[in-house]
């Protein structure tokens, strides 16, 4: 039977770390206590924070414990469980524990982070400070957005410890995965909604484009912007914008004249460069979604719109443009902006073309009626964001409190009757090649393409239809 003899054990402290030194004779082995594990919970904390240290040992006989670190303080350095208070200096620190029993001593260490996360899963989150080293301009813009103050909104209502809320108000909050999110390291660089919420964990980036995500996918925003409290994605999914790629059987994706207003990537590129890109140059193709209208980095306008005026954002696509040839104008396409502003209908000499007051008195123009929102109700009724973009009668009732439908003062009935009368006149004329026919047809289709039946600009629509009928007669 092999004999075990302990000859000599010396303990030497070097640079704050306890090393075990031993000396044996030939055919003799050192026998010491067994340390199964040392755990730190959590293994990373903020400066000045506390973490709990536990050593799991299998001592022979009685046991003594001694915790040691180069910096920081222990609540009870001679127990198997202690609390370590971190210093106010960020960094990675090694904490050691010596367990001594009847046979001898053994040492084990654990690495912890102070304002520095030691991830188990990669890629891991690194925080806004890392991004700012190369992207300071974008980070400066981001600082002015609501995303940059997302955590404070929870503090204001006492929900900053609510895990359901923190997942959408901080970076990488996910208790199911240990990859350096705010749930592991509740520090300032991971607070709020910043770069890595949209681009993914940045530990593998380091200037390499393949190490970070860049996507126009609506699900990037939908991770948080959905549900009964803020159903942006839910409502957008029911809008025509969500099906802009499928419009006209997908033909739009192959037509450069269409892609700016049917593909998010093309819309953004056209705004940035002033030129619609070639279809083959698009990095991907997504329908008109959040990233088309909203700039995730900029704070230059309300709602982070890519253009300061919501009226102009909508007008980028919802416009018939100008009439290039009055004798052969072609079919107007989505003339809402033109109708609201009383422009670009075919106006005959000798006729007056007045405007209704909407373009002058409705401050936010399109958004006032088509992006009408309501907050989450105290009775549990879901919020409304207006992102179906369907008009809401309650928006009209702000100025027309007694209205029961959109046919306020009979304007829709009047315009419908005039469009029917003009179409009958065109059918009676029958000469589709005549200038008079083409001009009148343009105005008819201009009014019909607006689709509001006079609500946007009743006086202008009425004048276009009446003057076209008069010209035919």
pLDDT over 60 (residue 222) = yes
Q: What is the mean pLDDT of the segment spanning 49-68?
A: 94
| pLDDT at residue 330, as a whole number | 60
Q: What is the mean pLDDT of the segment spanning 56-83?
A: 94
| pLDDT at residue 33, as a whole number | 59
State pLDDT tens for residues 406-432: 999 999 999 999 999 999 999 999 999
At what angle are helices 458-472 and 435-450 packed, to 10 degrees? 160
| pLDDT at residue 325, as a whole number | 58
Beta bridge partners of 99: 65, 106
Long-range contacts of 311-320 (CB under 8 A, 24+ apart): 311/337, 311/364, 311/365, 311/366, 311/367, 314/365, 314/366, 314/367, 314/370, 316/260, 316/261, 316/267, 316/271, 317/260, 317/261, 317/267, 317/288, 318/366, 319/344, 320/344, 320/446, 320/449
| pLDDT at residue 113, as a whole number | 86
φ, ψ (nearest 5 deg) of residue 83: -115, 130
pLDDT over 50 (residue 307) = yes
More confident residue, 395 or 324: 395
Question: Closest Cα to residue 125, out of 183, 39, 209, 164?
Answer: 183
Q: What is the mean pLDDT of the segment spanning 261-276?
A: 96
Q: How far apart are CA 466 and CA 450, in angstroms?
A: 17
> Taking a C-beta distance cutoff of 8 angstroms, is the pair 290, 308 a contact?
no
Q: What is the mean pLDDT of the segment spanning 186-191?
A: 91
pLDDT over 70 (residue 28) = no
| pLDDT at residue 9, as a whole number | 29
| pLDDT at residue 205, as a whole number | 92
| pLDDT at residue 320, as a whole number | 87
Q: What is the mean pLDDT of the segment spanning 54-59?
A: 93
Percent of the chain at pLDDT exceeding 90: 73
Q: How far apart are CA 425 and CA 423, in angstroms?
A: 5
CA angle 463, 464, 469 (to 5 degrees): 95
pLDDT over 90 (residue 103) = no
Question: Closest Cα to residue 22, out of 79, 107, 92?
Answer: 107
State pLDDT tens for residues 122-136: 899 989 988 999 999
pLDDT over 60 (residue 368) = yes
């Amino acid at each position: 039977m092999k004999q075990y003899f302990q000859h000599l054990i010396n303990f030497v402290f070097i640079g704050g770390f306890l090393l075990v030194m031993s000396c044996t004779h030939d055919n003799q082995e050192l026998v010491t206590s067994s340390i199964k594990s040392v755990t730190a919970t959590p293994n990373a904390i903020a400066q000045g924070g506390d973490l709990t240290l536990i050593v799991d040992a299998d001592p022979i006989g009685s046991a003594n414990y001694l915790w040691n670190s180069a910096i920081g303080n222990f609540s009870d350095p001679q127990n198997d469980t202690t609390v370590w208070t971190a210093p106010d200096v960020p960094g990675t620190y090694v904490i050691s524990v010596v367990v001594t029993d009847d046979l001898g001593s053994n040492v084990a260490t654990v690495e912890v982070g102070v304002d520095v996360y030691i991830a188990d899963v990669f890629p891991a989150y690194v925080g806004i400070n890392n991004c700012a080293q190369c992207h300071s301009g974008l980070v400066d813009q981001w600082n002015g957005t609501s995303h940059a103050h997302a955590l404070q909104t929870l503090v204001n209502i006492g929900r900053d410890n609510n895990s359901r809320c923190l997942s959408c108000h901080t970076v990488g909050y996910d208790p199911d995965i240990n990859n350096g999110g705010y749930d592991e390291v509740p520090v300032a660089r991971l607070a709020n909604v910043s770069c890595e919420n949209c681009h993914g964990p940045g530990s593998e980036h380091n200037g390499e484009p393949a190490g970070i995500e860049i996507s126009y996918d609506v699900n990037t925003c939908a991770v948080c912007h959905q549900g009964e409290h803020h159903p942006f994605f839910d409502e957008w999914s029911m809008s025509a914008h969500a099906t802009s790629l499928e419009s006209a059987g997908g033909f739009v994706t192959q037509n450069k004249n269409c892609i700016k207003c049917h593909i998010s990537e093309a819309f953004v590129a056209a705004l940035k460069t002033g030129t619609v890109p070639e279809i083959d140059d698009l990095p991907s193709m997504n329908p008109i979604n959040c990233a088309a209208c909203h700039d995730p980095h900029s704070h230059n306008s309300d709602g982070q719109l890519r253009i300061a005026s919501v009226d102009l954002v909508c007008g980028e696509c919802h416009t018939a443009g100008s009439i290039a040839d009055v004798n052969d104008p072609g079919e107007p396409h989505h003339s809402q902006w033109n109708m609201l502003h009383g422009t670009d209908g075919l106006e005959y000499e000798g006729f007056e073309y007045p405007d209704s007051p909407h373009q002058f008195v409705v401050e936010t123009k399109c958004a006032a009626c088509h992006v009408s929102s309501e907050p989450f109700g105290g009775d549990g009724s879901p919020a409304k964001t207006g992102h179906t973009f369907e008009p809401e009668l309650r928006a009209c009732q702000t100025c027309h409190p007694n209205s029961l439908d959109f046919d306020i003062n009979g304007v829709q009935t009047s315009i419908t009757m005039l469009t029917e009368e003009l179409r009958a006149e065109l059918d009676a004329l029958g000469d589709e090649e005549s200038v008079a026919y083409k001009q009148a047809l343009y105005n008819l289709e201009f009014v019909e393409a607006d689709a509001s039946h006079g609500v946007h600009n009743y006086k202008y629509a009425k004048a276009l239809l009446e003057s076209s009928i008069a010209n035919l007669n």
